[in-house]
């Protein structure tokens, strides 16, 4: 796989998984309905995905002329994609879960945070696929946060 293909593959995995940054409006005393939460949560994830795509595009442009991309270079790009994903988890948490769905939303956020910890500890795990993000993606998709799946 060439440089551009490798970086694009990394980006696709992380863009899908690290999908979340944006929306937000802080917490209010009134709980969001599930429909409102899902709509705002998906918007957060779409913004995070866009930010990650921009990072991948920039890295692809920079590394594309470098020839073969080393694992260290790939891991560096992966680590650059983590902050937007981590911010997405934070933003989802700040939205405030719909009444009765607190445990489900907390599980999604915790799974996203766990994925961040795994990737920060070993960025190479994200090079082999979306395994670090599997649990978070499955939980998010099941809840209706389809844009938050990696």
pLDDT digits (tens, 9 = 90+) for 32-74: 999 999 999 999 999 999 999 999 999 988 887 667 888 899 9
* 8 Å CB contact between 48 and 65: no
pLDDT tens for 87-139 read 999 999 999 999 999 999 999 999 999 999 999 999 999 988 778 999 999 99
Provide the token pair at 43.
């918007």
C-alpha distances (whole Å) from 149 to each of 21, 30, 98, 114 are 13, 27, 20, 15
């Amino acid at each position: 796989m060439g440089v551009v293909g490798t970086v694009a593959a990394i980006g696709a995995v992380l863009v899908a998984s690290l999908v979340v940054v944006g929306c937000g409006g802080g917490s209010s005393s009134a709980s969001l309905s599930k429909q409102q939460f899902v709509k705002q949560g998906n918007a957060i994830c779409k913004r995070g995905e866009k930010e990650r795509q921009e990072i991948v595009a920039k890295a692809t442009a920079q590394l594309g002329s470098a020839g073969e991309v080393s694992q260290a270079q790939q891991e560096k790009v992966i680590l650059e994609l983590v902050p937007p994903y981590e911010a997405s988890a934070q933003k989802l948490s700040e939205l405030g879960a719909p009444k009765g769905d607190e445990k489900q939303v907390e599980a999604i956020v915790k799974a996203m945070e766990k994925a961040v910890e795994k990737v920060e500890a070993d960025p190479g795990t994200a090079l082999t696929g979306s395994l670090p993000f599997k649990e978070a993606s499955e939980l998010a998709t099941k809840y209706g946060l389809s844009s938050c799946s990696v």
